[in-house]
Structure 1
């Protein structure tokens, strides 16, 4: 089985989707699937310093970067376009990640012309909130390009049933299959040490740390988190908020102003993006994880926080009702008072919060690992290649 994975960019600024593509490819490679990734060298407004137009052997998969044009964060690439039309027919199936992006759209066209089956993973980009953000551009693009391309797909991967249900108004013709994101068990089997985080941010030591881990972006709900945290801080003066994530769109000053207006900016630390050992140290230092998002496909950072055993406060916009059903997280309405009450509940009942975190860790290890995800996707690929029906969600 030879699979091509196409994603517009895998730079760090793109957060969870970059991590998904890499770890998903590794997991498929472990199953003996021949997997290649092609992408651009985009990393927000910057370019990655990587070799271009040549295969990079990553052990279990191959990776090739193509240069993109410098028009903001748009990912137009002539060389990628030429490569796709020349090479896509050598693959059994193509799997694209994202929508509303040139590399994905041109891939779908190349697949259609060469009669190569393809599956698309929107990764939350078809969620109602996501579609309403910059809506006129998306409506035009969807009408002219995206709708037909999605209808012609062999399948569309939804990350959970909530995402699939939210896509129902779009009346997509392709079958929807639910295959979630996952985590690497090895990264979370041992408890990480918070020492490195405290050494870099010594003023956070001996605080009850509430961790937000994600892009500084309007959809992440930081405008809701500011009044929620201020309310929690008024009851627990030892609380301190860590906002860890990249600011690729210049949104940080607006976010800082949210907290300044609530009078709690001095109890917030903006760390920038944390990766590798420092990210794990932050997870180890935290007492609570919070995801106040308006919209998510299926958040990698939520899975990682749960795998770390943290009590999590997440909104319904995170599309993870299974967490609530298993009493593995506090899943609340998308509004500041509900977030505040959940944070206060965790701070008021640390032992109960700890037990909830343990349930969260168990749930993730049982159902949301990359090994399990890869096996599920392998079954989907096999059904598509054998022209057998895949499970559709009405």
Structure 2
């Protein structure tokens, strides 16, 4: 079986999709599946310094980057399109990632024309909040392009049950599957050195760190987190908030203004994008993880926070009710008081917070790894190729 994974971007500034694609690739390779990835060199306001138009061997899979034109989230690549026209028939299945992307739309049309089955992972792009953002553009694009693409797919993969249920309201009846995102167990086995973080940001030492890890974006709920953390900080002056993540839409100045208006900007550090050892050091140094999002497909950062053994305060918009049922995370309504009350609860009782974090870590390791996700996807691919009913997970 030969699978082609497609994403418009692999730069870390774009959040969870690149990590998801790599996670799935590694998991499928472990099952003996041949995996290729094609993408572009887009990297927000610049380009990735990476060789183009050649296969790069990674950990068992190959990846090829193509030059592109990109502005914000708009990405198009004539060289990638030319390559897909010439090579798509050499793959058994094409698996695309994201929607509302002209580049991905062309690939869907190409697969349809050459009768190559394709799978779409929506990554939260059909969530109500996501659809309401730039609503008129998305309504038009959906009517002209995405509805056809979804109806023609062999299946649509959702990353959680809530996302699948919300998408049903759009009025198409294409087969769907739910396959959760995951983590690599080995990434969280060895505790990282927290000193890496303190060497970079000395003012954070001896603080009770609350960690936000995600893109600086309107949907992430920083307008809620600012007044919520301000309330908490008045009672817990040793608390310090890290806002760690890339800004690929120019939203950072607005986000910082929320904390300035709330009166707690001096207790907040905007670190920009944290990667590699520095990101894991931040996870290890934190006392609490917080995700105040209005909308998520299925957050990779939440999984990383839980796998790191952190007590996680996340909103209902994160679409993870399973964590609440397992008593593995604190899930709250998407409002200021609910967020602040939960943060205060765990800052006031760090032992209780640690117990929640331990349950979170075990819960993720048992249920949300890329090996589990890859086994499920392999069943999906096999059913498509054999023209059998899709598995129910």
Band of TM-score, shorter chain:
over 0.9
Q: Which residue of 1 is the match for residue 385 of structure 2?
A: 385
Q: Which residue of 2 is the match for residue 149 of structure 1?
A: 149
Query: 2: distance between equivalents of 1:171 and 1:7?
Result: 26
SS of 1:271's equivalent in the other structure is: strand
Query: 1: distance between equivalents of 2:235 and 2:227?
Result: 13
1:247 paired with 2:216, answer no
Q: Which residue of 2 is the match for residue 60 of structure 1?
A: 60
Query: 2: distance between equivalents of 1:173 and 1:392?
Result: 16
Instruction: Report if the CA contact (8 A) 2:383-2:391 is conserved.
Output: no
SS of 1:8's equivalent in the other structure is: coil
1:5 paired with 2:25, answer no
Instruction: Report if the CA contact (8 A) 2:72-2:248 is conserved.
Output: no
Q: Which residue of 1 is the match for residue 184 of structure 2?
A: 184
The CA RMSD measured in Å over matched residues stands at: 1.1
Q: Which residue of 2 is the match for residue 32 of structure 1?
A: 32
Instruction: Report if the CA contact (8 A) 1:45-1:73 is conserved.
Output: no
Q: Which residue of 1 is the match for residue 136 of structure 2?
A: 136
Query: 2: distance between equivalents of 1:336 and 1:321?
Result: 20
Q: Which residue of 2 is the match for residue 159 of structure 1?
A: 159
Query: 1: distance between equivalents of 2:14 and 2:71?
Result: 17
1:373 paired with 2:373, answer yes
Query: 2: distance between equivalents of 1:132 and 1:172?
Result: 19
Instruction: Report if the CA contact (8 A) 2:42-2:70 is conserved.
Output: no
Change in CA separation of 1:328 and 1:72 when aligned onto 2, cut-off 3 Å: closer
Q: Which residue of 1 is the match for residue 224 of structure 2?
A: 224
1:51 paired with 2:51, answer yes
SS of 2:209's equivalent in the other structure is: strand
1:110 paired with 2:110, answer yes
Q: Which residue of 2 is the match for residue 123 of structure 1?
A: 123
1:53-84 CA distance string (max 9 Å, x none) = 11111131110111112445421111111111
Q: Which residue of 1 is the match for residue 261 of structure 2?
A: 261
Q: Which residue of 2 is the match for residue 195 of structure 1?
A: 195
Q: Which residue of 1 is the match for residue 294 of structure 2?
A: 294
Q: Which residue of 2 is the match for residue 22 of structure 1?
A: 22
Change in CA separation of 1:72 and 1:332 when aligned onto 2, cut-off 3 Å: closer
Instruction: Identify which range, 203-212 or 189-198, moves more after superposition.
Output: 189-198
Paired positions, count? 393
Instruction: Identify which range, 237-246 or 191-200, moves more after superposition.
Output: 191-200
Query: 1: distance between equivalents of 2:368 and 2:190?
Result: 17
Where in structure 1 are there 5+ consecutive unaligned residues?
A: none
Following superposition, the deviation at residue 392 of structure 1 comes to: 6.4
Query: 2: distance between equivalents of 1:59 and 1:19?
Result: 14
Query: 2: distance between equivalents of 1:226 and 1:72?
Result: 25
Q: Which residue of 2 is the match for residue 205 of structure 1?
A: 205
Query: 1: distance between equivalents of 2:60 and 2:132?
Result: 38
Instruction: Identify which range, 359-368 or 341-350, moves more after superposition.
Output: 341-350
Instruction: Report if the CA contact (8 A) 1:151-1:174 is conserved.
Output: yes
Q: Which residue of 2 is the match for residue 42 of structure 1?
A: 42
Following superposition, the deviation at residue 171 of structure 1 comes to: 2.0
Q: Which residue of 1 is the match for residue 233 of structure 2?
A: 233
Query: 1: distance between equivalents of 2:172 and 2:185?
Result: 34
Q: Which residue of 2 is the match for residue 88 of structure 1?
A: 88
Q: Which residue of 2 is the match for residue 315 of structure 1?
A: 315
Where in structure 2 are there 5+ consecutive unaligned residues?
A: none
Instruction: Report if the CA contact (8 A) 2:44-2:71 is conserved.
Output: no
Query: 1: distance between equivalents of 2:169 and 2:73?
Result: 29
Please give the TM-score of this superposition, normalised by the length of structure 2.
0.98
SS of 1:199's equivalent in the other structure is: helix
Please give the TM-score of this superposition, normalised by the length of structure 1.
0.98
1:248-267 CA distance string (max 9 Å, x none) = 11111111110000100000
Following superposition, the deviation at residue 364 of structure 1 comes to: 0.3
Instruction: Report if the CA contact (8 A) 2:295-2:317 is conserved.
Output: yes
Query: 2: distance between equivalents of 1:171 and 1:143?
Result: 12
Following superposition, the deviation at residue 86 of structure 1 comes to: 1.1
